[in-house]
Amino acid sequence: MRKFTYGLPIALLSATVVVVHPHKAVTSIPPEVRAIAVPEAMAKRPPKVIASDEPNDVQAYYNRGVARFKLRDKRGAIDDYNHALQINPNYAPAYTGRGIARNELGDQQGAIDDYNHALQINPNYADAYYNRGNARYKLGNQQGAIDDYNHALQINPNDAKAYNNRGNARYKLGDQQGAIDDYNHALKIDPNYADAYNNRGNARYKLGDQQGAIDDYNHALQINPNDAKAYIGRRVAHYKLGDQQGTIDDYNHALKIDPNYALAYIGRGFARYQLGDQQGAIDDYNHALQINPNFAPAYIDRGFARYDLGDKQGAIADFNHALKINPNYRDAYVARAVARYQLGDKQGAIADFQKALKLARSIRHSALNPINCHLCNWGQEKHNG
- 43 pLDDT band, cuts 50/70/90, is very low
If one counts the domains in the chain, the total is 1
- Dump strand ranges (E) for 103-177: none
Cα radius of gyration rounded to whole Å, the chain = 25
Residue 235: the pLDDT is 64
Calculate ∠ Cα 208-209-212, nearest 5°.
Answer: 160
The answer to whether the CB of 260 falls within 8 A of the CB of 290 is no
The answer to whether the CB of 50 falls within 8 A of the CB of 61 is yes
Residue 375: the pLDDT is 30
Evaluate whether residue 76 is within a structural domain.
Answer: no
pLDDT in tens, 282-296: 999 999 999 999 998
Residue 132: the pLDDT is 97
Evaluate whether residue 136 is within a structural domain.
Answer: no
CATH code where residue 372 lies: 1.25.40.10
Stretch 80-91: mean pLDDT: 95
More confident residue, 236 or 217: 217
Residue 250: the pLDDT is 75
- 213 pLDDT band, cuts 50/70/90, is confident
Global pTM? Answer: 0.58
Containing structural domain, residue 362: 1-20+227-385
Residue 29: the pLDDT is 28
**Using CB atoms within 10 A of its CB, is residue 161 exposed (0-12), middle (13-18) or buried (19+)?**
buried
Evaluate whether residue 61 is within a structural domain.
Answer: no
Residue 322: the pLDDT is 93
The dihedral built from the CA positions of residue 185, 186, 189 and 192, taken in this order, carries a sign that is negative
Q: Work out the widest C-alpha separation in the chain, in whole angstroms.
A: 86
Residue 239: the pLDDT is 64
Residues 6+ apart with CB under 8 A from 323: 296, 329, 332, 333, 336
Evaluate whether residue 147 is within a structural domain.
Answer: no
Stretch 343-347: mean pLDDT: 93
Most confident of 43-57, 317-331, 347-361: 317-331
The answer to whether the CB of 163 falls within 8 A of the CB of 154 is no
Evaluate whether residue 282 is within a structural domain.
Answer: yes
